[in-house]
Structure 1
């Protein structure tokens, strides 16, 4: 029997299998999104409607922000299930047997699915970068105000605490970056050791001469029990603006480029960035997990359907896929706490299961 050594068996077969794979994966993703959105809305609708004036428009707005997150999270699951459905159906219809009888190898049968999943991974990365990150940022800002009106200006960092020696500085908002950063609604807690001596509050704080100048200050002296008004008060000597503007970087709310810029700024400020670097690399390895799914689920497409082992093969394919997601989440958690280096945490599960999937395929079919 002559073996076909081309990457694809034929253009017709490649297009046929890719079309089946993409349509079934899309159908699974749509079904999962609808079901999970419904369940999620049931849990959140009470909090959304609890704010006076909220109604159906706010519920639809919540769905529009939550849907991209669910789609991004469950896209790899959908690709896994779409692969299983495609290959199991083709196996039951003896299509896989016919292809192998014609000299088409298991890798050539899976090649259209891998290529289609690579395109899905590219679309997923762009979708995560331009849609999911913005939706996550908007939803986080909305939830911080208990589903009430969100301030129009989003170019600020909310609710920042910074320590200056024994003292504490709290700003409700930090607007701007660098030396132009402005603290809004500032509270300064003057402490000596573990004892609080005074509390000062001000509307505005600006960076001047290596310290923060608060304007329109009301100061409460704890020992005397008196409140005094001061035109200005200088606090936080040596506390640089990046301590405020980079105090709360939310990697899931940032695009790949924006997160990379934040990591560079934190590096320049001498701040730890291992957890953020893990998320940065995972923004690449996460979408690429779709490429693994045809390989891990490929075991379900081979073997004789009448042997009674098709169900077991499908379970093995599903188990391999779900084991990958468990390992990926575990490695990501280890990277976030600094137990794993960022590159290892983001890429080790992908490379490991790529080798496992290839070994299983070669051992069983090639």
Structure 2
């Protein structure tokens, strides 16, 4: 029996190459199908603004594809694991490897190494490509697919609280006292949090203090009457510094930028559990690719002619998809404080790591 964790160099390269080809093929298939379905629903909205055409559709696709790759790469690794292991089992290659003295862990070692490389590539891709695509696409959607303002600091879907009142804006550009808000809505709330007044404006600028609304239109909820106002200043307690912090989109920031944002929030005593869970998940999310060969390994063993190969593949798929369900649920719990951020991001990973190892050791080692 070999004492090395990895099998021979030739066998390692053979299994790794087979695995990579199937990951790529499954990922391309998933992205193409999902992108086509997404375009069916989004094309009408993209073409609504005057002057938009094929170039804008291609731009949307170029921004959406990185998001799809990031989200479905772990699923691709899971499906590629099952396809690879079922193929090896059907061709009796697993039987041959075990007859040569390889343990179950040694059979899986090349796949685990490949999955680790995929996890590293996924992390780098998320940090360099996906975060920028998220920022640009959200800003574009906020202006309803019209031209985005020429400002590198554009942010979208801004939600700001001033006591019980709320100020929202479709986009924000600039910083400090030069901040400009567009498509602004001011909600004034009374006792019990009930909205008593809503004011809409095309934009808002800093009035030192407060924010001056451009062409405001007030709707009184009690009387159901609409009134156009000449000028109105709202949110006098909202400073540019607070808006700079509250309008930050964690999905558009890199791992290191998000670290600085969390420190800034904690310095002024603001809640950071959602951002902290997101920060931890930036690492645990890509690492989920490392779990897939382990969770799908049940499909590699057992005699193909026994008639249980299909059942084993279903069990492997069920374990993999169960991980994604638990991971999403834990992350949601961590976002509103139900779980500590570290536990929300890492508990599903370590739980299913132990489950996969237990299944492998109890059934094959």
TM-score by length of 1: 0.86
* Uncovered stretches (5+) of structure 1, i.e. residues with no partner: none
**How far has the Cα of 1:162 moved from its partner?**
4.2
Q: How does 1:248-327 map to 2 (within 5 A)?
A: 248-327=247-326
Deviates more, 1:161-170 or 1:90-99: 161-170
Structure 2 vs 1, CA of residues 202 and 79 (structure 1 numbering), >3 Å: closer, same or farther? Answer: closer
**How far has the Cα of 1:356 moved from its partner?**
0.2
**How far has the Cα of 1:241 moved from its partner?**
2.8
Structure 2 vs 1, CA of residues 291 and 163 (structure 1 numbering), >3 Å: closer, same or farther? Answer: closer
In 1, distance between residues paired with 2:92 and 2:165? 74
Corresponding position of 1:53: 51
In 2, distance between residues paired with 1:306 and 1:191? 69
Corresponding position of 2:110: 112
Q: How does 1:349-360 map to 2 (within 5 A)?
A: 349-360=348-359
Equivalent pairs counted in the alignment come to: 354
In 2, distance between residues paired with 1:57 and 1:46? 14
Structure 2 vs 1, CA of residues 152 and 263 (structure 1 numbering), >3 Å: closer, same or farther? Answer: same
1:334 matches 2:321: no
In 1, distance between residues paired with 2:358 and 2:217? 70
Corresponding position of 1:362: 361
In 2, distance between residues paired with 1:226 and 1:77? 52
Give the 3-state SS of the residue equivalent to 2:205 in structure 1: strand
In 1, distance between residues paired with 2:78 and 2:228? 67
In 2, distance between residues paired with 1:306 and 1:119? 34
Summarize deviations over 1:182-241 as a string: whole Å, max 9, x none.
Answer: 355788889998987x9999963255xxx4586999999x9xx997779xx8x7565443
Structure 2 vs 1, CA of residues 350 and 56 (structure 1 numbering), >3 Å: closer, same or farther? Answer: same
In 1, distance between residues paired with 2:202 and 2:127? 39
**How far has the Cα of 1:358 moved from its partner?**
0.3
Computing the radius of gyration from Cα coordinates, the structure with the larger value is: 1
Match of 2:100 among 99, 102, 120: 102
**How far has the Cα of 1:156 moved from its partner?**
3.8
Structure 2 vs 1, CA of residues 94 and 217 (structure 1 numbering), >3 Å: closer, same or farther? Answer: closer
In 2, distance between residues paired with 1:311 and 1:216? 64
Q: How does 1:10-49 map to 2 (within 5 A)?
A: 10-49=8-47
Q: CA contact under 8 A between 1:156 and 1:174: conserved in structure 2?
A: yes
Structure 2 vs 1, CA of residues 19 and 195 (structure 1 numbering), >3 Å: closer, same or farther? Answer: closer
In 1, distance between residues paired with 2:300 and 2:256? 39
Corresponding position of 1:344: 343
Give the 3-state SS of the residue equivalent to 1:149 in structure 2: coil
Summarize deviations over 1:233-288 as a string: whole Å, max 9, x none.
Answer: 8x756544332112233222221122222212111221101011111111110000
Give the 3-state SS of the residue equivalent to 1:246 in structure 2: helix
Query: What's the RMSD between the two structures over aligned residues?
Result: 3.2
Q: CA contact under 8 A between 2:155 and 2:249: conserved in structure 1?
A: no
Q: CA contact under 8 A between 2:204 and 2:211: conserved in structure 1?
A: no
Structure 2 vs 1, CA of residues 228 and 192 (structure 1 numbering), >3 Å: closer, same or farther? Answer: farther
1:204 matches 2:202: no
Summarize deviations over 1:283-318 as a string: whole Å, max 9, x none.
Answer: 110000000000000110011111111111111111
Deviates more, 1:184-193 or 1:92-101: 184-193
**How far has the Cα of 1:320 moved from its partner?**
0.5
Q: CA contact under 8 A between 2:160 and 2:247: conserved in structure 1?
A: no
